[in-house]
Chain A
Amino acid sequence: MADTASDWIERSRSGDAAATVALDEALYAQLKGIAEGHVGRNPAHSLSATALVHEAVLRLLGSGRTPESRAHLLALGALKMQAVLVDHARRRQADKRGGGLAAITLGAADDVSVGDAQAFLDLQVAIEALEREDERAARAVVHSYFGGMSAEESALALQVSVATVERDLAFGRAFLRRRLGA
């Protein structure tokens, strides 16, 4: 598996869309598998979005790959996590309107209100606005928020300097908070 994955990563890094699709699929399968494995084992113990992405990347990649390919895969993982959570938030909102997911009782999960889904979707709208203002800054924010990527990892994935990523993040944060009043 690791060999195939690193081959896909190399192709994906050089702009091969088919390879990116393949990685996207593989990442999704991993994310889903890890999340489902977590359910029922210890629902009270929290598993953060960024930990999920890192775990998925680790399972796909194994260790000992180049920092560049790891960063690339983390970046794809962050994007995937964002897409998954947007879908999830929309479904949760539908819950509120009574037409969506079957109600399931899962202890601590009940504490999460549909208000959280709305807050998340507001954040998503702000990130989309940031994307229109400054696309790379939006990517850096997604890397950090959804993938837990360090500035160094983000810099490798975006092929810019660490200082640039830090400026991107400063601007991105300020933009989002200004928009959301948070």
Chain B
Amino acid sequence: MAGRLRQLFDAAAALPAAQRGAFLDASCPDAGERAELDAMLQLGEEPDDALRGRVGRLAQDAVARAGALPERVGPYRVLGQIGEGGMGAVLAAERDDGAFRSRVAVKLIRGLAHASARARLERERRLLATLEHPHIARLLDGGTTAGGEPYLVMEYIDGQMLDQWCAARRPGLRARLALFETLCRAVHYAHQRLVLHCDLKPGNVMVRADGRPVLLDFGVARLLAPEGDATRHSLAVTPAYASPEQWRAGPLTVATDVHGLGLVLYELLAGAVPERDVAAGPSDLPAPSRVLARRGGARAEVAALRGDLDAIAGRATAWDPAQRYASALELAADVAAHLASRPVTAARARWYTLLGKFVRRHRVPVAVAGASALALMVLVSWLAYERARALRAESIARAEVASLVASSRYLERLMSESPDAANLRMGEIIAAVRADLEHRRDVYDPALRARLTFRLGVILAASHRHAEALVVLREARQGLVATGGAPLLVANVDAALARSLNALGDGAGAERAARAALARFSSASAFAEVGTAHLELATALTRRGAAAEAEQEFSRALDAVGAAPIYRAEQTADVYMRRAELAQAAGDRLGALRFSEQAWSVLRAALGEDHPRTLTAQARCRALAAGIGAAVAAP
């Protein structure tokens, strides 16, 4: 809404010069205001070279002096530059006040123009200065340079960055894990004092010469957040290491730091931190063992990571903050448990938190599985299986909708438009998204629209509404290609298309889509969709009788789903279940039994004896075995 001055100015400027005087006489009872407008109207006509010149001269000077270091910052004498951080240069400096000399690290903060932001920085800095811990670099001082630039003074750590230390010292796995546990406890100490780090990453960990690790920049990202936004997303963080909730503007909590610690664990275990393709939707990082194997790690080292350590890293970096460790201390405890060869909580908690809530709400009819009638048992087992799938679909739908926020704050708006938003069921979410995409056809940028359409397609397919999904996914694909969408995204759409086409019985179409998807995935793509593409291709191949090639694709599907730290068992079981369905459709009941048993054993090992999905698979095996027994017994 334009102010009065602006409104009068626009109205007068639109008039021929000769009529402006009369207009101002009529509109401005105040003589001062009239004079102001009169002057502005005249000035507005003339060129503004003088103003542009001020910018130009200063820019020239800035270019000429680019890279020059200040000699002093406050009372500190600058010795040299240590690095160029996210917020500004980091300098090595020393305080030289006669009595003693001490070396410090000075962080210059640029781009903090407003006085209020500076005042707040000063307030929060004093709070952070109270953080005293042997494994946290102390914030010693701070101030404003003569030029008005704020700076922070931190303890100077004489040591190596974490990755350099690992490369130089080659510490054993136990030593690395012990170091990590120490870091977790230091983070927990800060959390107990209500300070979040918010930018935990390998680059913020140093190791002193004596092997003691130190965390740098504690709370600094948060310190620099805009006023009133300190718990939200707009922090000065490093994008490659941002947690999913930082990307999708969710609230930052202890879980954000747990995620950061998880990334540090990746660096320690695998020597690298994989990047999450946040744009492609909810995804888990490939397991550390996988990352290490890809980097050519020795077989024994890779094997040592499989199991517990993969699970711990997977849980620490889970997409959904609620599925991560509840505290840094819990993470430390799990690492300690692994070191002491006690069972870790990560493996159990993985499925439990995922499914527990739903199971408590809907008593899955698996309890009926003891029913004697064979027919009833088969029916019930499929019913339960479908339910379990549906509940996964629901969690996928929620995650999908959540990820929409990443691109558009979309849900917030949908929510604000529907009166009973919190209770939206999946079908209603679908309807709302559809209606929205239709109504705002001309409003959305085509690329964003294509991406939203893709999400809608994924939700439809997860709800087994494949015919509708097909139409929507095709539209999404067209839109993505037309707007030059990322190849990975197009590949994800193709994988989804293959699934729906197979479900609708179009094997040839599914094969084309799956092959198109696989052609786009790189060897480094490790998320669910790669497994989906292989599985759908294998299905289509089986149906057209190309058994040998299908076999190859099934095993590739298993490899691909094995790379995802979460849902691994479930997806592996999905592959076996699909094979069981195909075998049964081909009249191969023995094969169907064999594959169902494999699904059962995978689920039993991963989810436990009495998990609904395990029981479902078990019931299915019994039903098939009984059927075969009956057939053999028949004359």
Residues of A within 8 A of B (CB): 3, 6-8, 10-11, 13-22, 25, 32, 35-36, 38-39, 43, 46-49, 52, 66, 68, 80-81, 83-95, 97, 99-102, 104, 106, 108-109, 112, 116-117, 119-120, 123, 133-134, 137, 145-146, 167, 170-171, 173-178, 180, 182
State the CA gap A14–B549 with chains docked (Å).
44
Known: A17-B233, A85-B59, A133-B5. 17 other contacts (CB 8 A): A10-B407, A10-B447, A15-B409, A19-B239, A35-B66, A49-B55, A49-B56, A66-B483, A87-B110, A99-B146, A100-B147, A119-B54, A119-B57, A120-B58, A167-B10, A173-B48, A173-B51
Which residue of chain B is the closest to A146 with respect to CB atoms? B55
- Top 5 nearest A-B pairs (CB, nearest first) are A109-B64, A174-B44, A94-B147, A49-B59, A99-B146
Q: Nearest Cβ in chain B — how far from A151, in angstroms?
A: 14
> 13 A–B contact pairs at CB < 8 A?
A17-B233, A18-B247, A48-B60, A49-B58, A85-B55, A88-B65, A92-B147, A93-B148, A99-B145, A109-B64, A171-B6, A177-B40, A178-B36
Q: Nearest Cβ in chain B — how far from A15, in angstroms?
A: 5
**When the two chains form their complex, are residues B13 and A167 in contact, meaning their CB atoms are under 8 A apart?**
yes
Measured between beta carbons, the chain A residues less than 8 angstroms from B234 are 17-18, 20-21
B68 at the interface (CB under 8 A from A): yes
State the CA gap A144–B436 with chains docked (Å).
36
Q: Which of B57, B61, B237 has the most CB of A within 10 A?
A: B61
B50 at the interface (CB under 8 A from A): yes
Q: A17-B249, A120-B58 are in contact. Are A174 and B43 (CB under 8 A)?
A: yes
Neighbour of A83 across the interface among B86, B113, B408, CB < 8 A: B113
Q: Which of B55, B236, B445 has the most CB of A within 10 A?
A: B55
**When the two chains form their complex, are residues A133 and B55 in contact, meaning their CB atoms are under 8 A apart?**
no
Number of interface residues of B (CB under 8 A): 69
Measured between beta carbons, the chain B residues less than 8 angstroms from A13 are 445
B415 at the interface (CB under 8 A from A): no
Q: A85-B59, A120-B55 are in contact. Are A38 and B66 (CB under 8 A)?
A: yes
Neighbour of A171 across the interface among B9, B57, B147, CB < 8 A: B9
Which residue of chain B is the closest to A120 with respect to CB atoms? B58
B2 at the interface (CB under 8 A from A): yes
Measured between beta carbons, the chain A residues less than 8 angstroms from B10 are 167, 171
Which residue of chain A is the closest to B114 with respect to CB atoms? A128
Which residue of chain A is the closest to B234 with respect to CB atoms? A17
B313 at the interface (CB under 8 A from A): no
Q: Which of A14, A39, A43 has the most CB of B within 10 A?
A: A14
Measured between beta carbons, the chain B residues less than 8 angstroms from A182 are 50-51
**When the two chains form their complex, are residues B407 and A32 in contact, meaning their CB atoms are under 8 A apart?**
no
B486 at the interface (CB under 8 A from A): yes
Q: A7-B486, A32-B66, A123-B55 are in contact. Are A175 and B40 (CB under 8 A)?
A: yes
**When the two chains form their complex, are residues A39 and B60 in contact, meaning their CB atoms are under 8 A apart?**
no
State the CA gap A117–B146 with chains docked (Å).
14
Neighbour of B237 across the interface among A14, A21, A94, A145, CB < 8 A: A21
Q: A38-B66, A133-B5 are in contact. Are A14 and B59 (CB under 8 A)?
A: no
**When the two chains form their complex, are residues A16 and B147 in contact, meaning their CB atoms are under 8 A apart?**
no
**When the two chains form their complex, are residues B236 and A81 in contact, meaning their CB atoms are under 8 A apart?**
no
State the CA gap A177–B10 with chains docked (Å).
17
State which residues 244-286 of B face A: CB under 8 Å: 246-249, 279
Q: Nearest Cβ in chain A — how far from B407, in angstroms?
A: 5
**When the two chains form their complex, are residues B242 and A18 in contact, meaning their CB atoms are under 8 A apart?**
yes
Neighbour of B55 across the interface among A43, A87, A145, A180, CB < 8 A: A145
Neighbour of A106 across the interface among B64, B149, B235, B407, CB < 8 A: B64
**When the two chains form their complex, are residues A91 and B249 in contact, meaning their CB atoms are under 8 A apart?**
no
State the CA gap A15–B39 with chains docked (Å).
38
**When the two chains form their complex, are residues A36 and B67 in contact, meaning their CB atoms are under 8 A apart?**
yes
**When the two chains form their complex, are residues B66 and A39 in contact, meaning their CB atoms are under 8 A apart?**
yes
B70 at the interface (CB under 8 A from A): yes
**When the two chains form their complex, are residues B146 and A22 in contact, meaning their CB atoms are under 8 A apart?**
no
**When the two chains form their complex, are residues A10 and B9 in contact, meaning their CB atoms are under 8 A apart?**
no
State the CA gap A127–B209 with chains docked (Å).
51
**When the two chains form their complex, are residues A18 and B249 in contact, meaning their CB atoms are under 8 A apart?**
yes
